[in-house]
Amino acid sequence: MSANNLPPPSTVVGMLRDNGFNSVRLYAPDSDALAALAGTGIGVIVGAPNYVLPEMASSASAASAWVRANIAAHPDVSFRYITVGNEVAGSDTQYLVPAMENMHGALAAAGLGDAVKVTTAISQATIAVHVPPSAGEFADESKPFLLPVLQFLERTGAPLLANLYPYFVYTYKAAGDMDVSFMLFTAAGTVVQDGEYGYQNMFDASVDAVHAAVERLGVSGVDVVVSETGWPSAGGEEASVENARTYNQNLVSHVGKGTPRRPWKVETYVFSMFNENLKEAGVEQNWGLFYPSTDRVYPITFGK
């Protein structure tokens, strides 16, 4: 995380357990964090950071060494996914599938191929059309690299991870001039009617739009995991403690119900655990559920 004032991993893992979290995402392997997570039963997504992709893509032995050091060395950690890169863009996308293939092979060689899936996390910027969800489509510049990624996921049975932020859809006017209530799960009724399906919030619309975009590329059977979502408590338009609490509490209460097209639980990760003081000032420093002191930014009930 981009902060230099956070509590030690053992304290953070205690907070996860006390608040009913059953999964956590690490953007890079951290031996102390993984040691603290061992034996807890908390599911872990761990990232192979963007900067390692060129080496992972060109060297199967580098991927094997990474798996030995960061996965096999922690047998008591409940790993769920390895994310090969986060929001990879531009020329670096050429490394994605080769790196994923090598990572997949390394896991198989270590006897972990059935337990841990290899995937990547895409940016909301890859989605060109959000509403209506049935018209969901990836941006033209994203399609050439996403198609082989999706074909890999289809073949290996892994989900696509998507970082989805109704906050940015609202502030960037990515879906037109919609009321903030549609973003916060507080709209009084259907806002977007899409054939037989009615949408009362942008989260559901975005999830179903990603599914539609995947299918539009001719790929089926790939699930979507929301690997980041949240609302800032300060620093920008409609960024307030009350709106952050409203969004995240409603999110926690809602994801178990699924979307209009897929009425079953959406695996979802709230961003982020803490406010991060080394990020750019403004919105970027204010996504946390907790202050580094471990105090809550606002009251919220998670899994208990």
pLDDT tens string 61-83: 999 999 999 999 999 999 999 99
* Residue of 87, 141, 267, 284 with catalytic role: 87
Residue 237 among the catalytic residues: no
pLDDT at position 267 is: 98
Which two three-digit tokens encode residue 80?
């769920």
- Average pLDDT score over residue span 84-107: 98
pTM of the model: 0.97
Residue from 35, 102, 18 nearest 75 by CA: 35
**For helices 60-67 and 96-109, angle between their N-to-C axes, nearest 10 degrees:** 60
* Residue of 55, 196, 228, 242 with catalytic role: 228
**What backbone torsions phi and psi does residue 284 show, to the nearest 5 degrees?**
-60, -25
> Binning pLDDT at 50, 70 and 90, where does residue 175 land?
confident
**Check: CATH 3.40.50.300 for 9-290?**
no
Residue 154 among the catalytic residues: no
User: Residue holding tokens 């006017």?
Assistant: 173
Q: Report domain extents, the chain.
A: 9-290
- Average pLDDT score over residue span 12-24: 95
Tell me the per-residue pLDDT of 27-57, one tens digit each, with 9 for 90 and over. Answer: 999 999 999 999 999 999 999 999 999 999 9
Q: Please check the confidence at residue 162 and state whether its pLDDT lies above 90.
A: yes
pLDDT at position 303 is: 66
- Average pLDDT score over residue span 239-264: 97
Q: Please check the confidence at residue 1 and state whether its pLDDT lies above 80.
A: no
- Average pLDDT score over residue span 111-116: 94
Q: Is 161 exposed, middle or buried (0-12, 13-18, 19+ CB in 10 A)?
A: buried
